[in-house]
């Protein structure tokens, strides 16, 4: 459900500043048309007035589809065909990827209706990735068994089978994917949480190493579901938040990744596209609750990419101290240490410099700690 954050040293704080818990929301994008998506994300991420009212100033990222067999979703390509044109949203999606508000590829697309993905369509995606130098840290499975390019443990999942023409391992490598979520990595509050973990011998950890069928190793991560028989929608979001024991969550300095489909609500058992008129009552209450927890200084909310990278950074960082100098060490050599160490906070105030190899890193001094701050994300300025 939630997992206590771990570090290699007592000097390394589990969370920066006075934060006591870390949260992200993993949004599967289906259900969103592009206009609703942008206006909703402005409402959640910005602090200025927008079409849906004053922004809440939180952090929320999303996944996206390259293809979609239904017009209910926006997608990168106009039609689910290898020879199709790019959609009117393609350049906007690329911009959102650069800004960090889209950080996840959700399957290769939504093929839940007909299952008509082809090798030619995969090749078209690969071409687009190379032309635009698209980089995404995260891949999540999508939908029903017609989405055969999913990866994982189930028979229908062919995406990690090198002998299958719909193999996508080379595509994931080109994208730079580090983190993968498969269908079995869900947490629930009740005993059902443990069933798949026992059956498939999956560790009860927020993030852990996992080899796919093609023997390539990725970092897998868990998502908190707890929505009963059906996958969670915006209608179940408040229920998910209420089921967390926040006192224990904060006491244990924990992290949680909440699994969601924010583009849908559920009314009388039926899925309905989420629109501005639905942002009332318990749905609005969910976001106001998170906003109040953030404003209290207890809760740190990050985009899914920043959340996963932060936890991995903590698990891999070691330090050496020489008087008032801190020297950071990692197993692998880093190309961009100032990005990698974002959020690193140390229980030591008399620090003159923090160094990684030959790079001296900028940091902020507090009364009892020093912190390498998170870089601010750019605003969502797409119209």
Q: Do β-strands 3-4 and 254-260 pair in parallel, antiparallel, or remain unpaired?
A: antiparallel
Tens of pLDDT, residues 105-131: 999 999 999 999 999 999 999 999 999
pLDDT for the residue numbered 382: 55
pLDDT for the residue numbered 230: 86
Confidence of residue 195 (pLDDT cuts 50, 70, 90): low
In the chain, domain spans: 20-307
pLDDT for the residue numbered 282: 87
Tens of pLDDT, residues 252-263: 999 999 999 999
Q: Do β-strands 67-68 and 109-110 pair in parallel, antiparallel, or remain unpaired?
A: parallel
If you average pLDDT over every residue of the chain, what do you get? 95
CATH number of 20-307: 3.20.20.370
pLDDT for the residue numbered 130: 98
Distance CA 380, CA 1 (A): 31
Confidence of residue 220 (pLDDT cuts 50, 70, 90): very high
Distance CA 259, CA 181 (A): 11
Query: Which residues lie closer than 8 Å to 117 by C-beta, 6 or more apart?
Result: 67, 80, 108, 109, 111, 147, 148, 149, 166
What average pLDDT score do residues 264-274 get? 95
pTM of the model: 0.97
| Other Cβ atoms within 10 Å of 143 Cβ, number | 20
């Amino acid at each position: 459900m939630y997992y206590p954050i771990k570090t290699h040293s007592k000097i390394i704080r589990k969370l920066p500043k006075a934060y006591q818990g870390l949260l992200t929301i993993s949004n599967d994008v289906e259900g969103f048309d592009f206009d609703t998506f942008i206006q909703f994300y402005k409402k959640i991420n910005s602090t200025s007035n927008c079409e849906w009212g004053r922004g809440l100033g939180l952090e929320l990222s999303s996944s996206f589809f390259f293809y979609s067999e239904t017009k209910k979703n926006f997608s990168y390509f106009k039609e689910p065909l290898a020879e199709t044109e790019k959609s009117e949203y393609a350049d906007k999606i690329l911009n959102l990827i650069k800004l960090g508000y889209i950080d996840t590829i959700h399957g290769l697309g939504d093929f839940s209706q007909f299952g008509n993905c082809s090798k030619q369509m995969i090749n078209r995606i690969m071409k687009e990735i190379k032309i635009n130098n698209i980089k995404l840290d995260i891949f999540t499975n999508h939908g029903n068994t017609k989405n055969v390019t999913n990866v994982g443990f189930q028979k229908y999942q062919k995406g990690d089978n090198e002998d299958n023409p719909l193999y996508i391992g080379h595509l994931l490598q080109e994208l730079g994917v580090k983190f993968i979520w498969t269908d079995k990595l869900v947490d629930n509050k009740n005993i059902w949480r443990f069933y798949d973990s026992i059956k498939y011998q999956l560790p009860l950890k927020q993030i852990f190493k996992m080899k796919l069928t093609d023997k390539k190793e990725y970092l897998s991560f868990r998502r908190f579901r707890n929505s009963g028989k059906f996958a969670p929608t915006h209608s179940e979001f408040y229920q998910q938040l209420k089921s967390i024991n926040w006192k224990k969550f904060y006491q244990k300095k924990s992290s949680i990744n909440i699994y969601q489909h924010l583009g849908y609500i559920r009314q009388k058992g039926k899925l309905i596209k989420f629109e501005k008129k639905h942002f009332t009552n318990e749905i609005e209450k969910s976001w106001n609750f998170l906003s109040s927890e953030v404003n209290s200084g207890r809760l740190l909310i990050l985009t899914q990419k920043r959340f996963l990278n932060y936890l991995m950074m903590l698990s891999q960082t070691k330090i050496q101290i020489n008087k008032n100098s801190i020297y950071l060490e990692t197993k692998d050599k880093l190309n961009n240490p100032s990005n990698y160490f974002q959020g690193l906070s140390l229980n030591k105030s008399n620090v003159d410099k923090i160094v990684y190899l030959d790079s001296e890193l900028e940091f902020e001094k507090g009364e009892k700690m020093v912190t390498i701050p998170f870089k601010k994300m750019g605003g969502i300025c797409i119209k």
